[in-house]
Structure 1
Amino acid sequence: MPENMEIYHQLQDMFWYGSGIWSHFSGILTWPLKKGHARTAMLFVIVLLFGAFISVRWISVSFAGASKQKVVISSRGIHGSVEIPLDCAANRTQICPARSFPTTFETVDNDNSSSSPVCPDYFRWIHEDLRPWKETGITKEMVERAKMTANFRLVIVKGRAYLETFLKSFQTRDVFTLWGILQLLNRYPGRLPDLELMFDCVDWPVVQARDYEGPHATAPPPLFRYCGDSFTLDIVFPDWTFWGWSEVNIKPWEYLLKKLREGNERIKWIDREPYAYWKGNPDVALKRQELMKCNVSDKQDWNARLYKQDWRREVQEGFKQSDLSRQCIHRYKIYIEGSAWSVSEKYILACNSVTFLVKPQYYDFYTRGLQPIHHYWPIREDDKCRSIKFAVDWGNSHKGKAQAIGKRASKFIQEELKMDYVYDYMFHLLNEYGKLFKYKPSIPEQATELCSERMACPAEGLEKEFMMDSRVKATKDTSPCTMPPSFDLVSIRSFLRRKENSIRQVELWEQKYWNNLNILHL
């Protein structure tokens, strides 16, 4: 039973901590004391053990009246990082071990430290994603309604994870998403409140905002996924590829980010091919099939060089033609959505090339912080070929400005999307989410405990390799970055207006360009 397992882990933790104190003071009992003095020494050690245990290891948190949970660990709770071992040879039964480091729980409103840097500005969208539940809080009934399309339920109780699977996801999306959450728990042990969440690993969001509008509307179900759009209320979470995509040999983000930075240095922007490059699977969406019509031909050159990715052939040939760090050889790279958002966006933005962003419908957790002209060049969806042609001609005529756009995007990815911030985004999202709970989450009867040993030890091939490469090997001895405040109405309107005005400016430049060309051909 889950309750019995919880008691078992608590006893293990108590024994570990108590045994350390006992071994430290056991020498006292070997002193040549009189009988009465020995009893006094024994009593002293027992009292010391009990007091240390109560003050450091076993502070419970009250949930009286189903109040909002604010259980996090302050920066004072851990002094120095603690190594997290993973020995598959010694743990053949794949039992989740008791945690071997003490934690101190405090009830605080925020886990901010004056020494922690302020999080990147895109963290502000966490407040917007959770706004539908700000007034109502989150109830058990709301969470259960999110089960309809979810692949799994994840429950976190006292820093330990429990999994209930409903439907296997496509490939290993669920596997590496869960692996990433486990690494978060290892990085910041004991700092998240108890919570439960439903996660849908399918690309497109499904919680329609229109279904929860009006004075008598109910609160929407809180459903986590990788992307959202302006019509839906799904909660956006970092995608699985940050820990690796084994099916297509895309390595974990921390490693790949370094390789992309090295790849940028191989060919200077000015020496790159002066065309727009795209390589991918056009079969997944009509908009991608339309893009392929912009490819160079004997009759027309739209300044685009487009290639179809044959993943079956890549698998057979050992992924020789899909090294992302060696695809930064063009001045311009195109990002276009597939069936929904695509994980390729971060790899494209990291390339120092100017990213041509074909007008997207969807966003993921960090892209809402990007601005047109500043981080990327907007491309019309309804007139892709002409829009790409103009963008390349503009960039080749304004090389300094074009190169600056590419550098700003690459800098954003390298500095504001490094793994430290990915983990901090996950932490703050789940921490703020957990504060909204109106009930105390419990471990489902059908759930099994999840830990690194149970995931990594039985894994094989690239799946195991990527897990080991992306494993958090020690706790973080500093607090997460400091959350920025939520948008007010004026600031969010200003942000969106600035974005719209920049896109409109490009469209006006483009219109003028084609008008001038038409005049020349008269």
Structure 2
Amino acid sequence: MSLRLSLWLLLFCLGMFRHKLLPGVQADSVPSAAKTLVWGPGLEANIVLPARFFYVQAVDSSGRNLTTSPGEKTFEVKIVSPVEQFTRIWIQVLDRQDGSFLVRYRMYATYTDIHIHILLNNKHIAKSPFILEGPVYHEGCDCPQPSGSVWEAHMHCPQSFPQIDRDLAIYASVDPDRNAQEIPQRFGQRQSLCHYTVKDNKVYVQTFGEHVGFRIFMDAILLSLTRKVRLPDLEFFVNLGDWPLEKRKPTEKIQPIFSWCGSNNTRDIVMPTYDLTESVLETMGRVSLDMMSVQANTGPPWPEKNATAFWRGRDSRQERLELVKLSRAQPNTIDAAFTNFFFFKHDESLYGPLVKHVSFFDFFKYKYQINIDGTVAAYRLPYLLAGDSVVLKQDSSYYEHFYNELQPWEHYIPIRADLGDLLEKIQWARDHDEEAKKIALAGQQFARNYLMGNRIFCYYYKLFQEYAKLQVTEPKIREGMELVEQPSDDLFPCYCHRTSLRDSAKDEL
């Protein structure tokens, strides 16, 4: 064999080996340490979140964004504090499989400052190391920013939220004194309510009704917010049940009730759901399903997903029974089954047998995700959008705090409330694969932009701020209310620089 032929064969084999080593990566497209981009709220000391996060976009030497994963272990992240021998920080680098990475970290102590090192083949990328000049507070540190406007600027909160504007527009004013008398009389016997007062940035509560366990979610977000920013004094009622309560017409005397779900037939003031709220507060904590973890578990690439519409859940609505029935008639089109029977136990023999629970991340093995209401809105929609399957969403009178910003045919494929056009819509998606994929990616981008933890905190703060402006009598700590204590943080206490500044000022006086 000639030397030239041997060299040619060697180069050919090396080329084949290289392509096997980097499947799906564009030819000659590998990340460049200098060109790769890094950004996000987790690079700013003043943005305090339960789990801080930032993004890395792999870019090649010619300046092109990579659109497939260069490998899960491509980037290494280290976070250290120069004045601490050990840092109590848990870090995760999540590969989003589209050339970008989500880096999240949860701090269990407060540091004077921290240095974030992001490395590619032991080389710093972009402007690494990123230095967060402190103090850099952890989630448990009670050190509120005194100025709400400063906090909003630090958090990059939007000027307004359209849903908040819509919900509060029906109230010319709010009278805490009158509400404190009338709302418990009207709802307190039959419903489960919490009556909250925030006074001097401390939280007080009184409960009404039997089933008040869900109060823990509202307590948690209020305590977390008051550790971060000084809330205005306000007094309000929270509905702890599934269904929104205020059914009076605009011409009647409407009373303000905060709920986790709204409907076209009620007037409740909508907050992010307790499920989404807890997932934000407990990210990298006791919950595994959150808006970040989903982004790293979106199943196989689009062409390799199963072209069947998928659904799992419990029997909380008649349309869900119809869906399972339809699945049996069209098993090659729909894979739908119940994991639990509760509401229609007498029909279990008709719509069973029950199937085992499927990991939510395994949902994304399927291209088409069916979203049907439960007792109210199906609270899984944020997580379905965050994947890269396309959502077929049932038309519904119920909505969460972000539904009105979603656009049919842009962020999801709409289906009729009675599911009458479901088979037709699935067939459309199959026949228009590129358009369906485009809708899936637009829904995913919406979730990434508007449903992450920083936006949820902004939403709650803006809601409380705007509601407080409507009050015409002073919020009071009513008889029967108890203080909601901040959790103790004895293991890793923090020293709030704002507290010491206030103490110094008092000493000077």
Report the TM range for the smaller structure's normalisation: 0.5 to 0.7
Match of 2:484 in 1: 450
Shift of 1:113: 6.6
Matched, 1:379 2:415: yes
Match among 370, 387, 410 for residue 334 of structure 1:
370
Aligned match for 1:437, one of 464, 471, 492: 471
TM-score by length of 2: 0.61
Structure 2 match to 1:230: 264
Q: Match for 2:387 among 351, 354, 357?
A: 351
Q: Is the 8 A contact 1:242 1:252 kept in 2?
A: no
Gaps of 5+ in 1: 1-78, 87-98, 313-318, 458-467, 478-522
Q: Determine which structure has the larger strand proportion and give its number.
A: 2
Contact 2:202–2:483 (8 Å) recurs in 1: yes
Give the distance between the partners of 2:449 and 2:264, measured in 1 at CA. Answer: 27
Take 1:179 and 1:435, find their aligned partners in 2: how far apart are those partners?
Answer: 23
Return the alpha-carbon distance in structure 2 between the equivalents of residues 420 and 105 of structure 1: 17
1:145 matched to 2:182:
yes
Aligned residues: 346
Which residue does 1:167 correspond to in 2?
209
Give distance in 2, aligned partners of 1:256 and 1:310: 22
Q: Does 1:154 align with 2:196?
A: yes
> Out of 260, 264, 267, which is 2:294 matched to?
260
Q: After TM superposition, what 4+ stretches of structure 1 lie above 4 angstroms from structure 2? A: 79-86, 101-106, 110-116, 249-255, 471-477
Point out the more displaced range, 444-453 or 392-401.
Answer: 444-453
| TM-aligned CA deviation for residue 323 of structure 1 | 2.7
Name the amino acid aligned to 1:358: Q
- Equivalent residue for 2:9? none
SS of structure 1 residue aligned to 2:292: helix
More RCO (CA 8 Å, sep 6+): 1
Distance 1:177 1:199 in 2: 8
Closer/same/farther in 2, CA of residues 225 and 475 from structure 1, 3 Å limit: farther
Identity of aligned residues (%): 21
Give the TM-score taking structure 1 as reference length: 0.59
The answer to whether the 8 A contact 2:167-2:270 is kept is yes
Deviations 1:444-481 (A, max 9, x none): 23122113327x99xxxxxxxxxx9xx9999999xxxx
Quick one: which amino acid aligns to residue 294 of structure 1? L
> For the residues of structure 1 that align with 2:263 and 2:452, how far apart are their CA atoms?
24
Tell me the distance in 2 between the aligned counterparts of 1:419 and 1:353: 22
CA deviations over 1:142-193 (Å, ceiling 9, x no partner): 34333323421111001111111223537x42212221221121122x1x21
1:302·1:388 contact (CA, 8 Å) conserved in 2?
A: no
Using the TM superposition, give the Cα deviation of residue 251 of structure 1 relative to its aligned residue in structure 2, in angstroms.
7.3
Whole-Å separation in 1 of the counterparts to 2:399 and 2:294? 22
The aligned counterpart of 1:277 is 310
| SS at 1:321 equivalent | coil
1:184 aligns with 2:225: yes
Within the alignment, does 1:124 sit opposite 2:198 as a pair? no
How far does the alpha carbon of each residue in 1:56-104 deviate from its partner, in whole angstroms, 9 at most, with x for none? xxxxxxxxxxxxxxxxxxxxxxx95545657xxxxxxxxxxxx6x5864
Residues 1:321 and 1:293: Cα distance change in structure 2 (over 3 Å): closer
Partner residue in 2 for 1:286: 318
Q: Distance in 2 between matches of 1:437 and 1:292?
A: 49
Matched with 1:64 is none
Q: Give the 5 Å matches for 1:209-228.
A: 209-210=248-249, 212-213=250-251, 217-218=252-253, 220-228=254-262
The residue that corresponds to 2:334 in the other structure is 304
Specify the SS of the correspondent of 1:371: coil
Question: What value does the CA root-mean-square deviation take over the aligned residues?
Answer: 3.6
> Structure 1 residues 311 and 156 mapped into 2: Cα distance closer, same or farther (>3 Å)?
farther
- Report the equivalent of 1:416: 450
Secondary structure of 1:295's partner?
helix
Note if contact 1:355-1:376 (Cα within 8 Å) is conserved in structure 2: yes
TM-aligned CA distance change 1:250 to 1:330, over 3 Å: farther
What is the SS of the residue equivalent to 1:184? helix
Q: Is the 8 A contact 1:334 1:348 kept in 2?
A: no
| Cα distance change of structure 1 residues 116 and 177 upon mapping to structure 2, 3 Å threshold | closer
The 1-side partners of 2:375 and 2:166 are apart by 25
1:277 counterpart letter in structure 2? F
State whether residues 243 and 251 of structure 1, in contact with CA within 8 Å, keep that contact through their aligned partners in structure 2. no
Residues 407-465 of structure 1 deviation map (CA, whole Å, 9 limit, x = unaligned)? 111111122100000010000001100111111112123122113327x99xxxxxxxx
Q: Which amino acid aligns with 1:362?
A: Y
Give 2:429's aligned residue.
Answer: 395
Match of residue 72 from structure 2: none
Structure 2 residue 462 is the aligned partner of structure 1 residue 428: yes
